[in-house]
Amino acid sequence: VQLQACGGGLVQAGGSLRLSCAASGRIFKVNAMDWYRQAPGKQRELVAHITSGGSIHHVDSVKGRFTISRDNARNTVYLLMNSLKPEDTAVYYCAASIEVSGAMLTQWYWGQGTEVTVSS
């Protein structure tokens, strides 16, 4: 099982980016999917969470600006980021709880990270 994230880049403050993360491999079911971020010198933090049924949670610092969504048919999670601020600069990671096909195993998998830089 692999998670491949993309969509990061350099953007001016107030701009927008859309991150994508696709899961592939021997997947029976994708449960919850998350976006995390890690800024330089800081710990990794949860940004947004979405369940398989579509229930959503965004941390306070991004509420009203970021939106998590998913396409279950494509095993893909998205993070639409609007009104970006310099403090949003970080490496963004996706994570997903995945039931592996034929293995009776459910565990969390992580993507490789995509870098977002917001200039002031």
Tokens standing for residue 87: 């403090």
Decide if pLDDT at 103 tops 90: no
Q: What is the bridge-based pairing of β-strands 114-119 and 66-71?
A: unpaired
- Residue 107 is predicted with a pLDDT of 95
Token representation of residue 78: 């998205």
Alpha-carbon distance 66 to 35, whole Å?
A: 11
Q: Rounded distance, CA 79 to CA 57, Å?
A: 12
Query: What is the spatial distance between Cα 57 and Cα 109, in angstroms, rounded to a whole number?
Result: 19
Are residues 50 and 32 in contact, defined by beta-carbon separation less than 8 angstroms? yes
Q: Taking 90 as the threshold, does the pLDDT of residue 29 lie above it? A: yes
pLDDT digits (tens, 9 = 90+) for 36-85: 999 999 999 999 999 999 999 999 999 999 999 999 999 999 999 999 99
The structure tokens listed for 65 are: 């600006």
Q: On the CB side of 110, how many CA atoms lie within 13 Å of its CA?
A: 10
**Residue 104: pLDDT above 90?**
no
Give the other-Cβ count within 10 Å of 102's Cβ.
7
Among residues 63, 83, 76, 91, which one has the least CA distance to residue 30? 76
